[in-house]
Amino acid sequence: MPSDDVQANYFEETRNILRPADMRITNIHPILQEGYECLHNLNYWHGGEYIGLGTAAASHLGRQTI
């Protein structure tokens, strides 16, 4: 694996390349174009409600994480 400094440089270079195309990095893996954000992620990041199904899934309803 590259060192932390090398990884940080890769991240910055990637962001600088994508910025002119109106692309932005919202977290470490999904890179998206402005206006095409994942609605599920936006809901999660803004504290919205969701139901998780399956093994080790979590739900967030009202102020309670279930």
| Domain match, 2 and 24 both | yes
| Domain match, 60 and 48 both | yes
| Domain match, 59 and 46 both | yes
Output the pTM of the full model: 0.44
pLDDT at 2: 87
In angstroms, the CA 59 to CA 65 distance is: 6
In angstroms, the CA 51 to CA 32 distance is: 24
In angstroms, the CA 32 to CA 48 distance is: 21
* Kind and range of the H or E run holding 64: strand 64-65
pLDDT at 27: 65
| Domain match, 29 and 44 both | no
Structural domain harbouring 9: 1-35
Number of domain units in the chain: 2
| Domain match, 26 and 51 both | no
| Domain match, 15 and 29 both | yes
In angstroms, the CA 57 to CA 66 distance is: 9
Per-residue pLDDT of the chain (66 residues; tens, 9 = 90+): 889 999 889 888 988 888 888 887 766 666 677 787 778 778 888 889 988 888 988 898 887 776
